[in-house]
Amino acid sequence: MKESPVEALRMMRRIAKLFDVEREAARALRAEKSQPVLVEIEAEAQALRSLATSDQGPLAKALTHLENQWPTLLRFLEDGRVPIHNNSCENALRPLAVGRKNWLFGGSERGGQAAATI
């Protein structure tokens, strides 16, 4: 982030620790190993909130997003079947989003039906 590059790098390193834990630990160890890192992230986010120069700046927006998604993030601690990220969901939805833009201009009803058939 241009606004606070050192702080952003520190936060990214902490987040990377979560992925390191995911690779090395069995799902049963998540709470033991990931919980302390999440406590660090939460404390760092609160400290960074005071550095945000504007409520609309990139740092403030990122911190607001983190706060809004925090309960959802914590779900991976509670259920070993829940991955730490949603990359597979994002990848599954991407073709629909791209297709929606492409299908917007089918040209005609017949063209739209042909595109839907394909």
Could you tell me if 43 and 71 lie in one domain? yes
Is residue 109 scored above 70 in pLDDT?
yes
Q: What is the span of the domain harbouring residue 106?
A: 86-118
Total structural domains within the chain? 2
Is residue 101 scored above 80 in pLDDT?
no
Could you tell me if 72 and 98 lie in one domain? no
Q: How confident is the model at residue 38 (pLDDT cuts 50, 70, 90)?
A: very high
Could you tell me if 93 and 72 lie in one domain? no
Considering only CA atoms, give the Rg of the chain.
20
- Read off the pLDDT of residues 58-88 as tens digits, 9 standing for 90 and up: 999 999 999 999 999 998 888 777 888 888 8
Cβ proximity of 115 and 109 under 8 Å:
no
The whole-angstrom separation of Cα 17 and Cα 34 is: 8
Cβ proximity of 22 and 11 under 8 Å:
no
pLDDT of residue 22: 74
Burial class (CB in 10 A: 0-12, 13-18, 19+), 8: middle
